[in-house]
Amino acid sequence: MKYKLFLAVFILLSACVPKKEFQKVQQSKNECASAREKLERENRKMKVENKELESKLGVLKDKVARLEKDSVQRAKRITFYKNKNERLEDKYRSLKSTQNQLLKGTDKETKELLREIQSTQETLQQKEDRLRLLADDLNSKEQNLSQLRKELESKKKRLIELERVLQKKDSVVQAIKEKVNSALYGFKDQGLDVHIKNGKVYVSMDEKLLFPSGSSEIDQSGVAALKKLARVLERNPDINIMVEGHTDDVPYISDEAIKDNWDLSVKRATAVVRVLLNSGDIKGKRIIAAGRSKYLPLQPNTTEEGKRKNRRTEIILTPKLGKLLQILNTH
C-alpha cells in the first residue's frame, strides 16, 4: 500500500514538469545529436573523399602511361611511313625519268608506263592521306595527354592540401590535449581524465570533482578546475565546446529544484557552462550544453564503481573545420 502511494506521488510530481522546459531539453538533445552526426558524417566524407582521390590518381596514372606508350608507337609508325613515302617519291622520280625516255619508244610501251605511273601516284596519295590522318590523331592524343597531366596535377595538389589540413587538425587536437593536461595536472587524482576520441578532446570529470551527490551546485574544487580550463579555452578561440552531463540509472527522487535524471544532467551541464563563461573571455556561441541522463554509460550500472564512472560531466573540445570544409566545397 505504501509503495502504491509513493508511486502515485512520484507520478504526480513528475507530471508537474513544465512542458516548455521539457521541450527545451528535448531540443537541446536533438541539436547535440545533430551536431555530433554532422561531424561524424564530415569525418567519414573526408576519409571517403581521400580514398576516392587516391583511386582516381591511380587510374589517371595508368591512363597517362598507356597514352605515352601509344604516342611512342604512333611516332614510330609515322617515321616508318615517312621513310616509305620517301622511297615512293624516289621511285616516282625514277619512273618519271623512264617515262621521258620511253616517250620515244612505241605507243604501247608508253601507255603501259603511264598506267604504272598513275597507279604509283594513287598509291602515293593514299599513303600521304593516311600519314596525315595519323599525324592528326597523334596531335589529338598529345593534347589529351597534356590535359590529363594538368588534371592529374590539380588532383594531386588537392590531395596534398587535404592531407596537410588533416595533419594540421590532428596536431591541433593533440596540442589541445597537452594544454588541457598541463592546466589540469593537479586534478588528475580527483577523478579527471583527458583523452582523444574521434578527432576530439574529451575532458571527463567525475561527479566527486564537481558536484555533491544529487546536486547541480559546483563545489570549490570543481570551480577551481573549471577556471583553469577556462583560461586554456580563452586563449584558443578556434575551439568549439560541448558540455554533457551524465548520470547513472538510479532514479532521482524528485524535489522542487530537480525533477529526474534528465533534469539533473542538464542542470549540471549548464552549471559548468556558467562557470566557464564567468571565468574567461569565452563567446557563448562557442558552447553547447547538453544533458544525456543515463543513456550513454561508460560502464554497466551493475556495480558501484560502474555507477561512479557513469556519474560524470564531459567537456568535448573540437577544433573548427572551416579550412577543411572550404577545400571540399571549392573542389
pTM tops 0.85, yes or no = no
Name the residue with higher pLDDT: 104 or 272: 272
Q: Is the pLDDT of residue 86 over 60?
A: yes
Task: Give me the residue spans of the domains in the chain.
Answer: 17-41+173-330, 54-172
The rounded percent of the chain whose pLDDT value lies above 70 is 89
Strands 312-319 and 200-206: antiparallel
Q: What is the pLDDT of residue 227?
A: 95
Amino acid symbol at 114: L
Confidence of residue 2 (pLDDT cuts 50, 70, 90): very low
| CB-CB contact of 209 with 191 (8 Å) | yes
| Cell digits of residue 268 | 549540471
- Across the chain, what does the average pLDDT equal? 84
State pLDDT tens for residues 234-243: 999 989 999 9
| Structural contact between residues 82 and 134, judged by C-beta atoms closer than 8 angstroms | no
Q: Which residue has the higher pLDDT, 249 or 71?
A: 249
Q: What is the pLDDT of residue 266?
A: 97
Q: Which residue has the higher pLDDT, 129 or 317?
A: 317
Per-residue pLDDT, 8: 55
What is the per-residue pLDDT across 208-233, written as a single tens digit (0 to 9) for each?
A: 999 998 899 999 999 999 999 999 99
239 touches 176 (CB < 8 A): yes
pLDDT digits (tens, 9 = 90+) for 189-204: 888 999 999 889 999 9
For residue 121, what are the contacts with CB-CB under 8 A and spacing of at least 6?
Answer: 92
Beta bridge mates, 315: 203, 243
Of 32-36, 212-216, 318-322, the range with the highest mean pLDDT is 212-216
State the residue for C-alpha cell 588532383. Answer: 155
Going by CATH, does the domain composed of 17-41+173-330 fall within 3.30.1330.60?
A: yes
Instruction: Give percent of the chain above pLDDT 90.
Output: 37
Q: Is the pLDDT of residue 326 over 70?
A: no
Q: Tell me which of 291 and 15 has the higher pLDDT.
A: 291
Q: Where are the beta strands (DSSP E) in 221-302?
A: 239-245, 287-291
Q: Is 293 left (phi over 0), alpha (psi -120 to 50) or beta?
A: left
Tell me: pLDDT of 174 over 80.
yes
